[in-house]
Structure 1
Amino acid sequence: MSDNELTGADARAWLLAFADRVVADADELTELDRQAGDGDFGWNIGSALKRARANLDGDDPAAVFQSGSDTFLASGGTSGPLFGLWFGRLGAGPSASWSVPDLAGAFETATGAVRRLGKAEVGHKTMVDAMVPATHALATTGSSHWREALREAAVAARAGAESTSGMVAHRGRASYLGERAREVLDPGAVSIAWFFEAADGI
């Protein structure tokens, strides 16, 4: 195993850091969702991640992500099934430590599954607006170290999330608000940016 590869312990630390960020700042996601939806996004994702903290397990990244998937699938709202699907598809990755190409392949599979289920594309003002650029960054990085590759993915995810301000939603409850929610950041995209940013410094 190379130091350049993401281990199960690394993946667990990453998800725990993500959980800490969401639980600490769930009100920010809730306020965004209140302006563009029904206001339960932060509560739903925060509750799922609180439960996930005690259940994350596995010897490799795939097993860790799969354990996170199980928790999300049991949570409410639209976000639960989508995150559950995303982590579940990541859980179908190699049963070993992941190289950067392994990371890229796993996220390409997972993001593709979310796009198909949600019928969402870039520009629809959803979590896909952050997922797709992050996945592209992983696929095109010149780095062979997972930390550096995920830093690039985090920058791309953040830019994607910020781009949702100015979009008219095509999916979800925000689509019913039209122009009234144009300037609101999509909370799903913001949470994806937080996920990739959480990998930095673990």
Structure 2
Amino acid sequence: MTTLQLEPTRAWIVRFAAYVEAEVDNLTELDRQVGDGDFGLNLRSAVRSALAEIDAHPPTRPGEVFTRVSDAFLGTGGTSGPLLGLWFGRIADVRGAAVSVTDLAAAIDTATQSVRRLGKADVGHKTMVDAMVPATEALLAGAARSDDLLPALAAARDAAEQGAESTRDLVARRGRASYVGDHARGVVDPGARAIAMFFASAPTAGGEA
């Protein structure tokens, strides 16, 4: 699979939404321990809204799918909504009906750098950036090696999972979790977990395209 086209992109978001539905209680519990407990519900609200918009206004190319997701997050409450809205909005800048791994990696890199700047967060701060950055780096490295999209997305999936898990032992330095200090240690950051879930839903998970 050398390019990301419309239907696999739509399926990616459908799988992500289903994953969120299945994990909403766990995400809420994680956020209850490190924040105000609304992350799971806000994430579910956003993905439901995204799917509704995709159905109501069918996209014609991959970038438009990500635009629907971006708009949904920008319209959702909580501190993570604007950051995820920005992230998906930058990914939505990909052009054309068939997106190469190079173009997708570049868009996700731009998206991740935008979130880092806006949130003033970096790896080690116990935020969604801890999953975004390694996933982005893995995707860029995969794009440099080959024009095959699937291995690059698989590497990004694994890196995002490892990045999310790495937040378990961190003390938060940004976001709401930074207010609870050592009480956040031992808890995976819910934003990082959501990013890992997004990449786990990509067209490599379970061999799906």
Please indicate the TM-score interval, normalised by the length of the shorter structure. Answer: over 0.9
Q: Secondary structure at the match of 1:174?
A: helix
Which amino acid is 1:175 matched to?
S
The one-letter code matched in structure 2 to 1:5 is: T
Percent identity between the two aligned chains: 56
Count how many residue pairs are aligned between Structure 1 and Structure 2.
200
Unaligned runs of 5+ in 2: none
Deviation at 1:37, TM superposition (A): 0.5
**Structure 1 residue 144 displacement after superposition:** 2.2
The Cα of 1:110 is off from its aligned counterpart by: 0.6
Q: Is the 8 A contact 1:23 1:50 kept in 2?
A: no
- C-alpha distance in 2 between matches for 1:75 and 1:49: 10
Q: CA deviation at 1:13?
A: 0.6
| Structure-2 separation of matches of 1:9 and 1:78 | 31
> In the aligned structure 2, how far is the partner of 1:59 from the partner of 1:6?
13
What amino acid is the match of 2:199?
A: F
Partner of 1:163: 166
How far residue 59 of structure 1 moved from its aligned partner, in angstroms, is: 1.9
2:15 to 12, 17, 28: 17
**Structure 2 residue matching 1:171: 3-state secondary structure:** coil
Aligned to 1:101: 102
1:147 Cα offset (Å): 1.9
Q: Secondary structure at the match of 1:29?
A: helix
- Please tell me whether the aligned partners of residues 141 and 152 of structure 2 are also in contact (alpha carbons under 8 angstroms): no
Q: Within 2, Cα distance between the matches of 1:106 and 1:61? A: 12
TM-score (norm 1): 0.96
The counterpart of 1:42, out of the listed 34, 40, 43, is: 40
Structure 1 residue runs of 4+, over 3 Å off? none
1:190, 1:102 → 2: CA distance? 25
Bigger helix share: 2
The amino acid of 1:52's aligned partner reads: A
Residue deviations 1:158-178 (CA, integer Å, cap 9, x gap)? 000000011110111110111
**Residue 65 of structure 1 corresponds to which residue in structure 2?**
66
- Equivalence for 1:27: 25
Task: Please tell me the root mean square deviation across aligned C-alpha atoms, in Å.
Answer: 1.0
Once the two structures are superposed, what CA deviation does each residue of 1:148-199 show, in whole Å capped at 9, x if it has no partner?
Answer: 2111100000000000011110111110111111111000000000000011
Show the counterpart of 1:194: 197
- Which of 189-198 and 51-60 deviates more? 51-60
